[in-house]
Amino acid sequence: MLVSSSHGLDWSCIALAQKKVNARELEKLVFGSKGRLELPAVVDFYATWCGPCIPMAQALEQLAVEFSKKVQFLKVDTDEEYELAHQLQLRGLPTLLFVTKNLDRDPVVRTEGLLPLEVLRDIIEQELDVQRDKVSEIFL
């Protein structure tokens, strides 16, 4: 479980339906999967000193429970994974990547800054609908 940082922000309220990963694990789980994922992924790039990252993490935790069978939720601490953050040109936190099941065909959706729960839910549902439509096109 995440704990309070030296900067005074309380991370203890964040449960663990989201999986914290490092750069190597992220590469393996998402980008190293030969372009295909078992489940779409929401990747949350955050820092323990980032105030808006706390309510974002709480919203994502709720969505991780809600979409537990449909989407995997991953977290990356940008202070611990500075090189990855630099490589992805992360400028603002929190930054989210919405990664579809087929990286070869579908673009990665990226957002920066705090988003309301309803907006996050809409993005996830829209991404799931887009994937469902593409599967239907293949089999129809």
DSSP 108: P
| Strands of 72-77's sheet in order across | 19-20, 72-77, 41-46, 95-99, 109-112
Give the separation between CA 81 and CA 83, rounded to whole angstroms. 6
Identified catalytic residue from 53, 90, 96, 120: 53
Q: Which of 37, 42, 47, 50 is catalytic?
A: 50
Give the strand pairing for 41-46 and 72-77.
Answer: parallel
Active site residue 13: no
Catalytic residue set: 50, 53
